[in-house]
Amino acid sequence: MEKKDINSIPAIVQETIDFVIKKMRYRKKVRADVRAELEAHFEDALADCGTGEEQRDRAKQLIEEFGDGKVLGMLIRRAKKRCRPVWARLMIRTCQMAGLCVLYFIFCLSRLYIGSPTIKVDTIAQLNEVVKQGHEDSLNALPGIEQAIALLGPSPKDLWLYPLYRDMNDMQRQNVETYLTQNQSALDQLRLAVQKDHYWRQYDPVPVGLGDTGAKIMSARRLLKNVELSTYLVEQVMPKLPKYRELSFAMKRQMQWHCAQGKAGPALADALAITRLGQLVTGKGLLIEQLMGVAISSLGNASVLFVLHDVDVNERVLTEAYSALEDLFEWDDPWLDLMAEKALVMDMIQSGFTDDGQGNGRALAPAVFFWGGFPGDWWKNLLLLNYPDRKQVVEHIDGLYEDLCQWQTVTPWECQNQGYALSNTEISTIYTEMIKPSLERVGDQAWRLKTHIQATLTVIAIKRYQTRHGVLPETLKALVTEGLMKTLPRDFYSDGPLTYQRKSDTDFVLYSWGEDLRDDGGVLATNAKGEIRKYGSQGDWVFWPVQER
């Protein structure tokens, strides 16, 4: 229908109509209608013309009467648009609004992808300095520990499921003895390694080619396909951690074997070696390493208590063990070092901001994701272009880590009674919400270990008292009076010392109030299902008598 009967009207008219239709810029069907109507108009107007010349003259006159073709096309288009039904107009307006929204959203997002960060700090090099703390390489326990790991041979199948040595059958005992004999060099190496004063890991730099530091790291980021630096470092460490666990369990088997032989001194030395290994690994590295260190320390403490429970230990050995254990830990300092974690966050910041704009840098996509608000605020801030700048985020992180250090010094009891919780700190971003659960978990582990060590020291002191006097002390104060302990052992889950119950001249119970922060009279802790668990959420954490597992 668009080109109708074009031969019946002069070419000049056809050109004019084509021009008008072209300038209409409207739907094809409407254009065809208008074209047909205009052609009909000209046909009617030219119908009476006799000759071709007369027709051409008349056509020129008509075209002049029509005026400017461009204006006509525009006027027709405008009028035709008004002819659209309401639903069509509504739909078009809705689509236009949606389109505008999409465009605005793209505009908002595009700001987050324009520009690139300037990497100025080599975080891994910085991290390596932080963990090393300027110590001589000869003081590092890590090479010796890794040598012990390398020497450790494979264990018999299901070794870790075997019962205590005294409860094993002949075949199991044979397996354990063979395993310990074969791995004696690894265990000796571990004993030697843990005598070192420090432990630090030097993290491998990201694989790069030549170039200056910033370019190196940027090219490494591309190589890593935008994987976060922390993930890259954790992947360096993670495969090694199970070996630490295996080494600790091997030493624990050795300790049990020594107990079975009645060799209290070597057994305690084995247990303390495990504790020392844990304390060293806790170090100042990544949080995942520190968590592993706390777990190994806890295993060592449990082993010390096991030895004290299983064999008679003379006062000299007890005194040495007490002294060794007491010196292992700095009680006044936070046990977890968050400097490495903070360095990684600062690396996220430097790779998430440009160097231009107000506040020392404009946020790019990763920065907006992590620090753009949580979670409803995130969208609001994104659409209002209300992104935090680098300065604000750095201040936020500084404040957060200051709070975290402070939080570590507040006991669970104080947290509960003073209403102090990690969630009370400035939690307003996806980043803080992401790290909170893991930090809370690690914090819990640290307080449990502290309580465990207090209990272990107390049991050693009680045993020393018993060795001296032949009976148990009436109260824990007697230990302080006797000079066996400097102060009463703290229960971080109550407002007083650990709870001591003297049952007879030879029997006693020592426990912490545990996670429920309530004295349940020494009832063994259970989990939510009612199953007995060392650190269950209900009941008390009973350290003595030792629950054999």
Partner 1 sequence: MKFESQLLKGIAPVVVLEILSRGQMYGYELCQTIETRSNDVLSLGKGTLYPLLYNLEAKKLVSTEWQTAESGRKRRYYSITSKGKRELAKQKDQLQHLVTGLDLIFGGVFSLA
Query: DSSP label at 457?
Result: H
Q: Between 8 and 323, whose beta carbon lies closer to partner 1?
A: 8
Q: Between 47 and 528, whose beta carbon lies closer to partner 1?
A: 47
Q: Between 42 and 492, whose beta carbon lies closer to partner 1?
A: 42
**In the complex, least distance from residue 13 CB atom to partner 1, rounded to whole angstroms:** 12
Enumerate residues 66-95 that contact partner 1 by CB under 8 A.
66-68, 71-72, 75-76, 78-80, 82-83
Q: Is the peptide bond before 545 cis (omega within 30 degrees of 0)?
A: yes
**In the complex, least distance from residue 376 CB atom to partner 1, rounded to whole angstroms:** 44
Q: Between 82 and 549, whose beta carbon lies closer to partner 1?
A: 82
| 150 belongs to the binding site for partner 1 (CB under 8 A) | no
- Report the C-alpha gap between 331 and 443 in whole angstroms: 15
Position among 41, 309, 436, 534 found at the interface with partner 1 (CB under 8 A): 41
In sequence order, the 6+-apart residues with CB closer than 8 A to the CB of 439 are: 287, 404, 422
* Contact call for residues 449 and 297 (beta carbons, < 8 A): yes
At 208, the amino acid letter reads: V
Number of residues that bind partner 1 (CB under 8 A): 25
* Contact call for residues 336 and 407 (beta carbons, < 8 A): no
**In the complex, least distance from residue 95 CB atom to partner 1, rounded to whole angstroms:** 20
| 45 belongs to the binding site for partner 1 (CB under 8 A) | yes
Q: Between 69 and 388, whose beta carbon lies closer to partner 1?
A: 69
**In the complex, least distance from residue 37 CB atom to partner 1, rounded to whole angstroms:** 5
In sequence order, the 6+-apart residues with CB closer than 8 A to the CB of 366 are: 348, 351, 352
Position among 32, 49, 62, 339 found at the interface with partner 1 (CB under 8 A): 62
Position among 18, 26, 32, 43 found at the interface with partner 1 (CB under 8 A): 43
- Report the C-alpha gap between 431 and 428 in whole angstroms: 8
Q: Between 37 and 197, whose beta carbon lies closer to partner 1?
A: 37
Q: Which part of the chain contacts partner 1 (CB under 8 A), choosing from 61-69, 129-137, 342-350, 369-377?
A: 61-69
**In the complex, least distance from residue 51 CB atom to partner 1, rounded to whole angstroms:** 21
Residue 497: strand pairing partners? 490
228 phi and psi angles, rounded to 5 deg: -65, 150
In sequence order, the 6+-apart residues with CB closer than 8 A to the CB of 288 are: 234, 237, 238, 241
| 36 belongs to the binding site for partner 1 (CB under 8 A) | yes
* Contact call for residues 280 and 194 (beta carbons, < 8 A): yes
Q: Which part of the chain contacts partner 1 (CB under 8 A), choosing from 58-66, 190-198, 202-210, 404-412?
A: 58-66
- Report the C-alpha gap between 128 and 172 in whole angstroms: 44
* Contact call for residues 438 and 287 (beta carbons, < 8 A): yes
In sequence order, the 6+-apart residues with CB closer than 8 A to the CB of 388 are: 359, 363, 367, 371, 372, 396
**In the complex, least distance from residue 33 CB atom to partner 1, rounded to whole angstroms:** 8
**In the complex, least distance from residue 100 CB atom to partner 1, rounded to whole angstroms:** 25
Q: Which residues bind partner 1 (CB under 8 A)?
A: 4, 33-34, 36-38, 40-41, 43-45, 62, 65-68, 71-72, 75-76, 78-80, 82-83
